[in-house]
């Protein structure tokens, strides 16, 4: 059976997809050697640069958020694989500046290892940088150490907030602190109903029975502990929201920015229905959903499922979330 994907040689997936993405948005992004996506209109050198890294296969993901007010560079690995330290170091060198670099790393073993190696080498070269680890996934349990929490699509609002602060001219310590403080108010939980196919070999990366779903499944089919029978949209939303609210110590009066990230085959129709439930669940606790995003911002091939991301926000954070960005996949918030 032939894999049901529109691809050419599986070996060239990453290079070809990056060339295509750059071709679609020539006034916004450029693809440089070493699979580094950068802004077509670079930020002035007196501002803090934002760099991140991650595997491909999750588009639009990180490279889709390169642009004014968000990332300066995304260093891209192969399908579901971290880029190596050499590529990341090349990007860090390219953006070496007095103002410094904020390196944003999603908490996955491969990304963390490449980042640690590149950071050590960069520091020996006098490159000024700070590293922010994003670990928004709460599926490991509320008592799990932060190091056990994976980085999921909650990285995108964190990047937006950090990027807006950097664009406004904040110094490296200030950008780091705003982003780090906000990242502790961001929590994510994923759910899957149907697994997906690895686009390089056509094999399933996870399997679920016809009547099953799994809350907590990670971005690569990692187990999440919450396997069970399929629930309605409202009941799924409730199960996820309650855990997220607990993780965030959500209380009456809190303002919530909610993101429902479709990971592949789950429709905006379904995500909208779940969003409706989230607003009601927040209201029941006296909290208010002040807005959000219903979209595919970080996908897992054609997996059916989504990530629910809750961000507790204040006026300062909302202003940064609403600040202008021209990144290809950021739609400005009203």
Q: What share of the chain is helix, strand, coil (3-state, %, to 5)?
A: 35, 25, 40
**For its own copies, which stretch binds (CB under 8 A), given 7-15, 89-97, 153-161, 168-176?**
7-15
Q: CA-to-CA distance for 191 and 196, rounded, in angstroms?
A: 13
Contact between 4 and its own copies by CB under 8 A: the answer reads yes
DSSP structure class, residue 28: T
- Nearest distance from residue 127's CB to its own copies, in Å? 29
**For its own copies, which stretch binds (CB under 8 A), given 127-135, 160-168, 182-190, 231-239?**
231-239
Contact between 299 and its own copies by CB under 8 A: the answer reads yes
- What does the buried/exposed string (b/e) look like for 226-256 if buried means 16 or more CB atoms within 10 Å of the residue's CB? beeeeeeeeebbbbbbebbbebbebeeebbb
Contacts of 287 (CB under 8 A, 6+ apart): 245, 250, 251, 252, 253, 254, 255, 256
Contact between 80 and its own copies by CB under 8 A: the answer reads no
- CB neighbours (10 Å) of residue 104? 26
The contact mask relative to its own copies for 276-295 (x = CB under 8 A, - = no) is: xx-x---------xxxxxxx
Contact between 219 and its own copies by CB under 8 A: the answer reads no
Contact between 21 and its own copies by CB under 8 A: the answer reads yes
- Nearest distance from residue 2's CB to its own copies, in Å? 5
Binds its own copies by CB under 8 A, chosen from 114, 183, 266, 307: 266
Residue with tokens 């691809």, as numbered in its chain: 7
Binds its own copies by CB under 8 A, chosen from 11, 19, 125, 173: 19
Contact between 102 and its own copies by CB under 8 A: the answer reads no
Contact between 243 and its own copies by CB under 8 A: the answer reads no
Closer CB to its own copies, residue 103 or residue 215? Answer: 215
Contacts of 20 (CB under 8 A, 6+ apart): none
Contact between 234 and its own copies by CB under 8 A: the answer reads yes
Among 143, 150, 147, 151, CA closest to 247: 143
Closer CB to its own copies, residue 117 or residue 290? Answer: 290
Q: CA-to-CA distance for 277 and 292, rounded, in angstroms?
A: 13
Closer CB to its own copies, residue 96 or residue 276? Answer: 276
Element holding 283 (H helix, E strand):
helix 268-284
Binds its own copies by CB under 8 A, chosen from 117, 121, 233, 239: 233
Restricted to residues 164-193, the positions that interact with its own copies (CB under 8 A) are: 193
Contacts of 231 (CB under 8 A, 6+ apart): 213, 239
Binds its own copies by CB under 8 A, chosen from 84, 243, 301, 307: 301
Contact between 11 and its own copies by CB under 8 A: the answer reads no
Contact between 20 and its own copies by CB under 8 A: the answer reads yes
Closer CB to its own copies, residue 217 or residue 304? Answer: 304
**Residues annotated catalytic, as ranges:** 58, 220
- Contact call for residues 127 and 93 (beta carbons, < 8 A): yes
Restricted to residues 29-48, the positions that interact with its own copies (CB under 8 A) are: 40
Which tokens belong to 283? 């209201």
- Contact call for residues 45 and 304 (beta carbons, < 8 A): no
DSSP structure class, residue 146: G
Contact between 59 and its own copies by CB under 8 A: the answer reads yes
Closer CB to its own copies, residue 187 or residue 294? Answer: 294
């Amino acid at each position: 059976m032939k894999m049901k994907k529109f691809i050419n040689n599986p070996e060239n997936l990453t290079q070809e997809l990056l060339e295509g993405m750059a071709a679609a948005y020539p006034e916004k992004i450029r693809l440089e050697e070493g699979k580094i996506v950068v802004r077509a209109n670079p930020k002035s050198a007196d501002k803090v640069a934002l760099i991140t890294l991650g595997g491909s296969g999750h588009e639009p993901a990180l490279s889709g958020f390169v642009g004014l007010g968000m990332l300066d560079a995304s260093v891209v690995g192969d399908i579901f694989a971290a880029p190596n330290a050499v590529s990341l170091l090349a990007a860090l060198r390219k953006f070496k500046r007095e103002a410094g670099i904020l390196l944003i790393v999603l908490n996955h073993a491969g990304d963390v290892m490449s980042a640690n190696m590149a950071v050590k080498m960069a520091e020996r070269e006098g490159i000024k940088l700070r590293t922010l680890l994003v670990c928004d996934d709460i599926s490991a349990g509320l008592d799990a150490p932060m190091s056990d929490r994976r980085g999921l699509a909650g990285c995108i609002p964190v990047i937006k907030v950090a990027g807006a602060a950097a664009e406004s001219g904040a110094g490296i310590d200030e950008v780091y602190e705003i982003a780090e403080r906000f990242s502790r108010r961001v929590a994510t939980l994923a759910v899957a109903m149907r697994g997906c196919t690895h686009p390089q070999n056509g094999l399933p990366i996870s399997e679920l029975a016809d009547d099953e779903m799994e809350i907590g499944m990670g971005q690569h089919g990692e187990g999440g502990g919450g396997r069970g029978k399929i629930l309605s949209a409202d009941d799924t939303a409730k199960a996820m929201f309650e855990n997220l609210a607990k993780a965030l110590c959500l209380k009456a009066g809190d303002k919530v920015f909610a993101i429902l990230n479709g990971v592949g085959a789950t429709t905006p129709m379904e995500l909208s229905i779940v969003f409706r439930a989230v607003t009601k669940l927040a209201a029941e606790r006296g909290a208010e959903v002040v807005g959000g995003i219903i979209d595919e911002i970080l996908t897992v091939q054609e997996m059916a499922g989504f990530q629910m991301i809750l961000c507790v926000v204040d006026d300062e954070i909302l202003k940064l979330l609403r600040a202008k960005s021209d990144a290809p996949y950021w739609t400005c918030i009203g």
